[in-house]
Amino acid sequence: MKLIMKFGGTSVQNAESVRRAVDIVYGRYSLQDRLLVVVSAKRGVTDRLITCAEGMVTSRDADEVAELVSYLLDGHLATLREVAPDFCEETSEIITRRIENLRDFLYAVYHLRELTVRSRDYIISFGERLNAPVISAALRQRGIPSMVLDGCEAGITTTANHGDAIALPAGEARIRARLEPILDHSVPVITGFMGCTEKGVVTTLGRSGSDYSATIIGAALQADEIWIWTDVDGIMTTDPRLVPEARVIPRISYIEVMELSYFGAKVMHSRSIEPAMQKGIPVRVKNTFNPEFPGTVIEGGELKESRVVKAITYIDKVAAITITGAQMVGRPGVARHIFSLLAEHQINVMMISQGSSEANISLIIEAHQVRTAMEALQPLKERCVFRDIAANEDVCAVAVVGSGMAGMAGTAGRTFSALGKAGINVMMISQGSSEVNISFVVRQEDGPRAVHVLHQEFELTKQELC
């Protein structure tokens, strides 16, 4: 079997978890699978890289760079010493050199007081670039031949929208040409999260992007399966941190996971399903801390539905923008103006709702883009395309997801009457035409309670029948 295994941050954060990951790889290696491993940065490292890089633009001193350098050096070398004593010397040289390179870049940001999107991507890709050599050395220590390639060397070719790049089809042949021959004699370890443009400029694939790296590679290599190793037993009926009674979903469709991840289920990167779906490759989500558990299989086709609603998800870092004005009524092109301007400013609109009177349009966007959106739309107000525009950041979005609700009457009714009974005021509603989700907006403080209420209403803690 040709298998891609991706290990997330918690699954490779210290020597103990790296050993666990190596055991998992060894298990499949001894079954003579053709394997490829994709790794994330250690948990927390990407956050620290982002904070430091952004901080250097305004910081009065560069002390934080030295702190970060010693944290990265100590952390990676300590793990390396434990998991790969025989390969310590050569690997620690690679890690030390990379950290020196990173340090120079951070100092450059400090001195120039400028962090371009390109330098930001280059800097934040270091988490994976420091971790991959450790994992590869640990595999070799276990007797598994292994080598490291970064996302760029692996052939992942992306658009130039830094920080959230999208894989280009042109990369497929490159990935195949570079990786396929290696699988015959080695288990390559690829740094997740990064790729590069046609011109070779480093890009990153968005937060949690290593999932995406795994499916891009899996699709290009036409893998038999892609396994995402994480810190929970699979995709669950909701975030277990929010509802501890959440239950694992044994089987779920690509489209349902796309909806879930798009609406905030952090368990998978929102674009990561698409490459697997296009090639019909099953994706399994499994727990490194409970590897025997079957986890969740994500696949296509008609899944026999035992229940209408599969999962509830919740996203809190959003804002609502409401545009009002009677002059929008019956006037063609208003929506086009609004959405073109937002697109020009790279603002992703997550939900849209327009009243039938057309006197208002409400949009949900990511909270960090509110200011940009308000500024982008201001010229339309000045040209009297609408009367008023307001932003509300005290909101969150909740989505009820399940392909079983397509064509089945009653889910929306049940959803909103349960919320009504609980005294939760719904501020905006949106249902995609695919009918795989019903999403709505409530005040931020009501979000977690809305998830609890609906988890109970749709009896999601009950054992799955199929």
Residues that bind ligand ADP (CB under 6 A): 8-11, 40, 208, 230-232, 235-236, 238-241, 265-267, 311
Q: For residues 323 and 216, give the distance between their C-alpha atoms in angstroms, rounded to a whole number.
A: 38
The entry of ligand ASP, ligand ADP, Mg ion, none near residue 192 (CB within 5 to 8 angstroms by kind) is ligand ASP
Give the shortest CB-62-to-Mg ion separation in angstroms. Answer: 31
Token pair in block for residue 151:
């996302």
SS3 label, residue 59: coil
Q: Quick check: 13 binds Mg ion (CB under 5 A)?
A: no
**196 Cα distance to chain centroid:** 18
- Closer CB to Mg ion, 50 or 73, in the complex: 50
Give the shortest CB-56-to-ligand ADP separation in angstroms. Answer: 26
Q: For residues 22 and 7, give the distance between their C-alpha atoms in angstroms, rounded to a whole number.
A: 10
Q: Quick check: 208 binds Mg ion (CB under 5 A)?
A: yes
Nearest residue by C-beta to ligand ASP? Answer: 210
Decide if 292 contacts 236 (C-beta within 8 A): no
- Closer CB to Mg ion, 157 or 208, in the complex: 208
x-or-dash string of contact with ligand ASP, 124-143, rule CB under 6 A: ---x----------------
Q: Quick check: 218 binds ligand ASP (CB under 6 A)?
A: no
- Non-local (6+) Cβ contacts of 424 within 8 A are 442, 446, 449, 450, 453
Q: DSSP string spanning 241-252?
A: TT-TT--B-SEE
Which residues pair with residue 205 across a beta bridge? none
Q: Quick check: 46 binds ligand ASP (CB under 6 A)?
A: yes
Q: For residues 172 and 168, give the distance between their C-alpha atoms in angstroms, rounded to a whole number.
A: 8
Q: For residues 386 and 380, give the distance between their C-alpha atoms in angstroms, rounded to a whole number.
A: 7
- Non-local (6+) Cβ contacts of 137 within 8 A are 80, 83, 84, 87, 88, 91, 146
Measuring CA to CA, how many Å separate 234 from each of 3, 287, 442? 18, 7, 28
Stretch that binds Mg ion, among 45-53, 121-129, 207-215, 400-408 (CB under 5 A): 207-215
The entry of ligand ADP, ligand ASP, Mg ion, none near residue 236 (CB within 5 to 8 angstroms by kind) is ligand ADP
The answer to whether the Cα torsion of 290, 293, 297, 303 is positive or negative is: negative
Give the shortest CB-150-to-ligand ASP separation in angstroms. Answer: 13
Tell me which of 151, 188, 192, 218 binds ligand ASP, using CB under 6 A.
192
SS3 label, residue 463: coil
Q: Quick check: 91 binds Mg ion (CB under 5 A)?
A: no
Percent of residues in the chain assigned helix, strand, coil, to nearest 5: 45, 20, 35
Give the shortest CB-223-to-Mg ion separation in angstroms. Answer: 19
- Closer CB to Mg ion, 205 or 342, in the complex: 205
- Closer CB to ligand ADP, 14 or 322, in the complex: 14
- Closer CB to ligand ADP, 9 or 75, in the complex: 9
- Closer CB to ligand ADP, 268 or 428, in the complex: 268
Q: Quick check: 11 binds ligand ASP (CB under 6 A)?
A: no
Stretch that binds ligand ASP, among 207-215, 376-384, 426-434, 451-459 (CB under 6 A): 207-215
Secondary structure E strands in 20-157 = 34-39, 146-149
- Closer CB to ligand ASP, 39 or 460, in the complex: 39
Residue owning tokens 């690679």 = 94
- Closer CB to Mg ion, 7 or 110, in the complex: 7
Give the shortest CB-230-to-ligand ADP separation in angstroms. Answer: 3
Stretch that binds ligand ASP, among 60-68, 202-210, 289-297, 409-417 (CB under 6 A): 202-210
Give the shortest CB-210-to-ligand ADP separation in angstroms. Answer: 7
Q: For residues 34 and 29, give the distance between their C-alpha atoms in angstroms, rounded to a whole number.
A: 7
Q: For residues 93 and 101, give the distance between their C-alpha atoms in angstroms, rounded to a whole number.
A: 12
Binding site for ligand ASP (CB under 6 A): 9, 40-41, 46, 127, 192-193, 207-210
Binding site for Mg ion (CB under 5 A): 8, 208
